Amino acid sequence: KNEKNFKVSDFVEHLHAFLNAYLLVHARNRVGVVAISDSKSHLIRLPSLGGRDLCSSDASRSSGSGRNKRESVLDDLKNGLEQVYQKDYVKEVGDQGAENENGREGEGEGEEKHDGVALSAAYSRALCLLKRHQESVSGSVSGGGGYEAHQAGHEEGNNADEARQCQRLLFLSGSKDVPAQYIQVMNASFCAQKMNVIVDTFMLGGVDSSFLQQAATITGGIYTNFFSDDVAGSLSCISLSSYLVNLFLADPNTRKHLKLPQGHKSTNLKVSCFLTKKALDVGFVCSVCLSIFSQRLQTCAVCGTSFQESRAMKKKVLNRS
């Protein structure tokens, strides 16, 4: 399909099909959906999944299969996204209109302005969900005594190791990067690498994201922008759900035996200046905190280290492509 004909309702249905396929792969698989808006991230709770929903609270998990058994995962997705839209867009437009009518346009000068989506907030929140799930699985190993308890603990230990090895994040994004979030996104990517979390990205539009490309490279994930690839022009019709299943459903061990995309033809791994937030080919690197700047500084703006002539910032070539 062409990106211009792509509808949000179609996207939700394809996402629902992919979630169902992922849950059918293994009985211990869990999913969590985090929506990103211009101001913050939102947890999309799926009560119809019961304990297989990472975003639900502990009380709702223990209550069974959800509040209304007639509701499906698709209904939960639609309701959750509709609530996000009502809170962050409809309400915000209404509040701005009320302020303009009352003549209070000048009162919002001190408020924070958002130039793009809150990618770093959603990224960090998703990692917190995975960390909480990891600790809940590993915490169930302790307790009990005797041979049966030892066997149960051994099995739970294997489950905890499996959970740590197979944790993944999948970004479905169509937004541009926000330069001001570069440091936060890179910190989250290194945190994901330490947690053995694989970050995959599927771009829904023609625009690319250098931040998510770097996240996939750091964690060993897959980055693809189907609508900007050459293969999109050779296909008259493609199902998004089948593409997601074939590309992202396989676990890391299985991917080693599959022929999958190894990257993107326009991969952009340029770093950004910590002050100007602009992409750099050549920059100056702090020898203490490894911060990167577009010009030589006497004092690091991040860690405050003062440099003498013998320990001045070194000029580094950051991108050789």
- Using CA atoms, how far residue 274 sits from 2, 179, 212, 277, in Å, is 37, 9, 18, 6
Per-residue pLDDT of the chain (321 residues; tens, 9 = 90+): 455 566 777 888 899 999 999 999 888 889 999 998 887 888 999 988 888 888 876 545 555 544 455 568 888 888 888 888 888 766 655 555 555 555 544 444 444 445 678 899 999 999 999 999 888 877 654 444 454 444 545 455 555 555 555 789 999 988 888 888 888 898 999 999 999 999 999 988 778 888 898 899 899 898 888 776 555 555 556 678 888 898 899 888 888 888 876 555 455 667 788 888 788 888 888 878 778 888 888 888 878 888 776 555 566 656 655
* Per-residue pLDDT at 5: 60
* Per-residue pLDDT at 149: 45
Its pTM stands at 0.73
* Per-residue pLDDT at 122: 93
* Per-residue pLDDT at 150: 46
* Per-residue pLDDT at 294: 85
Residue 112 DSSP label? P
What does the block give as tokens for 58?
């502990």
Beta strands 314-317 and 282-285 are antiparallel
CB 170 within 8 A of CB 202: yes
Please state, in angstroms and rounded to a whole number, the distance separating the CA atoms of residues 179 and 176. Answer: 9
Please state, in angstroms and rounded to a whole number, the distance separating the CA atoms of residues 295 and 297. Answer: 6
